[in-house]
């Protein structure tokens, strides 16, 4: 067999030691955190798969870029470097930097939404929808049905359902729809990409009705990689070319540079319309900072400019998405129910199928994330009922079809061995799912509740009961050997 593997296109120059904890320590830490992995101290975490946001390892060139930060209040040289990078790789006319993605979402929502408007999108994202609602709009999901089905293996599960969109336009009228928010590698669907054919068709439909299309470009580079792999006609195109083509159909974007763009903080808003850009530059001064820094230090903008250039390198994206696939394949091979196809930024476990003994009210994904931490010190995140929040009109819990635990892989940070340790812990829990105890809320904040909510086990005080199997074999539980 002629087998040739890919390997990471970098070697490691500096290391950050990890602390392994004992089972007792982890049981105490998760109880103190109200069984919410967001409230754990990072020093108590062994392998941190909470998010791929702001957690990338920067390259030596990016670190060197920090040293040429021009910290002028106005007109920093680094702003112009960033502007050049965004023009080259994303292609939009106007760039407004922001401190991170939600800063751009805030400005865009305030700028374009009037109370009573409707904003369609290919599935919600938490901060995006929250800003749309704060500005007085209602979000309407127009993603295709396959996205809500963890078993459906369609290659572009992020696609917009054009019939749903057309119906919405007919129902509410195009003048109540300021823009459609088009997300790449749809996060809440499991990192599922959108095809270029669908992007083009969606944009054509919107533009025919005078509706703008705003890209959530947060993971557009990873989406471009999937297009190259899966969409006929794109195999020979570079990531750079595909990214430009995606953006060319849209009127602007919000971007969290903490993902694709390989920085620890940063984001931006782009607009092609001169008038809108002028208004956005005016708003950004109020909420973020002057339009040539938008809440960022000059050095941050330099790291972002360099990171954007690195992010579109084929070898980089292949290794990044390849590592996610490596973890996903191990879990799938062991029969763990995961969202298929494996997404771009993480592996998403279907907690309802993983924990059939729990009801939806017992918050299976929240419970599984907490139990995984107790087992091995791996920190994951709930993406289900808790993240969905409450309906702003009825106040009732929104119970989404997908109840997921996200194992999110930071870029360029962990090795294959870390993926192995993670897989072993998930598989061990999957062999004895009854060990996992359901949770209920003890505190629920008003906005984006998943970040700060607290919980308690519905019985017995612990979220993970001792392993009968491990006791039989005479070993102690926990992938860290504790
Ligand atoms: N859009 C998408 C698709 C995102 O995934 C995020 C952040 C944002 C916008 C907001 O950007 O965090 O820079 O303000 N996602 C993170 C996550 C928080 O863990 O998925 P931000």
**If DSSP states are collapsed to H, E and C, what string results for 21-57?**
CCHHHHHHHHHHCCCCHHHCCHHHCCEECCCCCCCCC
The residue out of 267, 282, 311 marking a domain boundary is: 311
318 and 201 assigned to the same domain = no
Strands 47-48 and 94-98: unpaired
374 and 398 assigned to the same domain = yes
How close is the Cα of 101 to the center of ligand 1, in Å?
6
Strands 454-457 and 47-48: unpaired
For residue 355, the domain's CATH number is 3.90.1150.10
184 and 280 assigned to the same domain = yes
Cα(183)–Cα(192) distance, integer angstroms: 10
252 and 337 assigned to the same domain = no
Residues near 391 by Cβ (< 8 Å), separated by ≥ 6? 397, 398
The residue out of 268, 292, 311 marking a domain boundary is: 311
Range of the domain at 332: 23-45+314-467
Atom of ligand 1 nearest to the CA of 256: 13
Which among 138, 92, 119 has a CA at the least distance from the CA of 178?
A: 119
Give yes or no for residue 307 CB within 6 A of ligand 1: no
pLDDT digit string (tens) for the chain, length 482 residues: 678 888 999 999 999 999 999 999 999 999 999 999 999 999 999 999 999 999 999 999 999 999 999 999 999 999 999 999 999 999 999 999 999 999 999 999 999 999 999 999 999 999 999 999 999 999 999 999 999 999 999 999 999 999 999 999 999 999 999 999 999 999 999 999 999 999 999 999 999 999 999 999 999 999 999 999 999 999 999 999 999 999 999 999 999 999 999 999 999 999 999 999 999 999 999 999 999 999 999 999 999 999 999 999 999 999 999 999 999 999 999 999 999 999 999 999 999 999 999 999 999 999 999 999 999 999 999 999 999 999 888 988 989 999 999 999 999 999 999 999 999 999 999 999 999 999 999 999 988 999 999 999 999 999 999 999 887 776 555 545 44
Count the Cβ atoms, other than its own, within 10 Å of residue 360: 16
Atom of ligand 1 nearest to the CA of 183: 3
Predicted pLDDT at 1: 61
Check the CA dihedral 430-431-435-438 and report its sign. Answer: positive
CB-based burial label for 157 (10 Å; 0-12, 13-18, 19+): buried
Give yes or no for residue 97 CB within 6 A of ligand 1: no
Q: Is residue 54, in this structure, part of any structural domain at all?
A: no
**Tokens at 474, concatenated:** 């005479």
Q: Is residue 6, in this structure, part of any structural domain at all?
A: no
Strands 118-121 and 138-141: parallel
Count the Cβ atoms, other than its own, within 10 Å of residue 373: 28
Q: Is residue 7, in this structure, part of any structural domain at all?
A: no
307 and 429 assigned to the same domain = no
Predicted pLDDT at 344: 97
Q: Is residue 11, in this structure, part of any structural domain at all?
A: no
List strands edge to edge, sheet with 404-408. Answer: 346-350, 404-408, 381-383
pTM over the 0.75 mark: yes
What are the beta bridge partners of residue 9? none
Q: Is residue 9, in this structure, part of any structural domain at all?
A: no
Predicted pLDDT at 482: 46
Cα separation of the two ends of the chain: 40
28 and 89 assigned to the same domain = no
Give yes or no for residue 187 CB within 6 A of ligand 1: yes
Q: Which residues of 213-245 are buried (b: 16+ CB within 10 A; e: fewer)?
A: bbbbbbbbbbbbbbbbeebeebeebebbebbbb
SS3 label, residue 180: strand
Secondary-structure percent of the chain, ordered helix, strand, coil, rounded to 5: 45, 15, 40
Give yes or no for residue 261 CB within 6 A of ligand 1: no
**Tokens at 216, concatenated:** 């959530």
The residue to which tokens 């127009």 are assigned: 142
For residue 74, the domain's CATH number is 3.40.640.10
**Tokens at 227, concatenated:** 């297009």
223 and 328 assigned to the same domain = no
How close is the Cα of 26 to the center of ligand 1, in Å?
27
139 and 200 assigned to the same domain = yes
**Tokens at 23, concatenated:** 């089972």
Q: Is residue 104, in this structure, part of any structural domain at all?
A: yes
Q: Is residue 473, in this structure, part of any structural domain at all?
A: no
Residues near 245 by Cβ (< 8 Å), separated by ≥ 6? 196, 237
66 and 31 assigned to the same domain = no
Residue with CA closest to ligand 1 atom 9:
101
259 and 343 assigned to the same domain = no
Give yes or no for residue 132 CB within 6 A of ligand 1: no
Task: Cite the active site residues.
Answer: 73, 125-126, 216, 259, 383, 450
- Structure letter (DSSP) for residue 381: E
326 and 374 assigned to the same domain = yes
Q: How many domains would you assign to the chain?
A: 2
Residue among 54, 99, 107, 259 to mutate when testing ligand 1 (max atoms within 8 A of CB): 259
Q: Is residue 3, in this structure, part of any structural domain at all?
A: no
285 and 355 assigned to the same domain = no
The residue out of 311, 332, 355 marking a domain boundary is: 311
Residue with CA closest to ligand 1 atom 12:
101
Cα(383)–Cα(355) distance, integer angstroms: 15
Give yes or no for residue 51 CB within 6 A of ligand 1: yes
């Amino acid at each position: 067999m002629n087998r040739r593997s890919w390997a990471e296109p970098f070697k490691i120059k500096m290391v950050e030691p990890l602390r392994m904890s004992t089972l007792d320590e982890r049981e105490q830490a998760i109880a103190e955190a109200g069984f919410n992995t967001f409230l754990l101290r990072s020093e108590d975490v062994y392998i941190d798969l909470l998010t791929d946001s702001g957690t990338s390892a920067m390259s030596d060139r990016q670190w060197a870029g920090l040293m040429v930060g021009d910290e002028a209040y106005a007109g920093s040289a680094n702003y112009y470097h960033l502007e050049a990078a965004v023009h080259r790789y994303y292609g939009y006319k106007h760039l407004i930097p922001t401190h991170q993605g939600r800063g751009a979402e805030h400005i865009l929502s305030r700028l374009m939404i009037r109370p009573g408007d409707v904003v369609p999108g290919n599935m919600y994202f938490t901060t995006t929808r929250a800003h749309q609602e704060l500005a007085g709009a209602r979000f309407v999901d127009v993603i295709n049905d396959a996205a809500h089905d963890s078993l459906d293996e369609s290659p572009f599960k992020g696609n917009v359902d054009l019939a749903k969109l057309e119906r919405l336009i007919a129902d509410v009228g195009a003048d109540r729809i300021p823009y459609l928010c088009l997300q790449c590698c749809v996060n809440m669907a499991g990192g599922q990409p959108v095809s270029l054919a669908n992007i083009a068709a969606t944009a054509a439909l919107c533009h025919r009705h005078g509706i703008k299309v705003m890209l959530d470009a947060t993971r557009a580079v990873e989406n471009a990689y999937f297009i190259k792999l899966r969409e006929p006609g794109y195999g020979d195109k570079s990531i750079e070319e595909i990214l430009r083509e995606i953006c060319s159909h849209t009127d602007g974007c919000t971007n969290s540079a903490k993902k694709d763009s390989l920085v620890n903080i940063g984001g931006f808003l782009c607009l092609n319309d001169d008038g809108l850009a002028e208004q956005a530059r005016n708003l950004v001064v109020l909420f973020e900072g002057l339009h040539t820094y938008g809440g960022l230090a000059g050095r941050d903008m330099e790291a972002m400019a360099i990171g954007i250039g690195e992010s579109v390198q084929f070898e980089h994206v292949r290794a990044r998405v390849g590592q996610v696939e490596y973890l996903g394949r191990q879990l799938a091979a062991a029969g763990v129910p995961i969202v298929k196809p494996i997404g771009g930024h993480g592996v998403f476990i279907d907690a309802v199928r993983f924990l059939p003994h729990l009801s939806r009210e017992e918050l299976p994904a929240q419970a599984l994330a907490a139990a995984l931490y107790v087992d091995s010190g791996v920190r994951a995140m709930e993406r289900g009922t808790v993240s969905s929040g409450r309906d702003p009109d009825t106040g009732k819990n929104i119970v989404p079809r997908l109840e997921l635990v996200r194992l999110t892989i930071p870029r360029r940070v962990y090795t294959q061995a870390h993926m192995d340790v993670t897989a072993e812990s998930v598989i061990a829990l999957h062999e004895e799912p009854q060990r996992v105890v359901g949770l209920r809320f003890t505190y629920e904040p008003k906005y984006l509740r998943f970040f700060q909510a607290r919980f308690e086990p519905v019985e017995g005080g612990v979220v993970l009961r001792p392993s009968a199997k491990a006791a039989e074999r005479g070993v102690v539980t926990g992938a860290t050997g504790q």
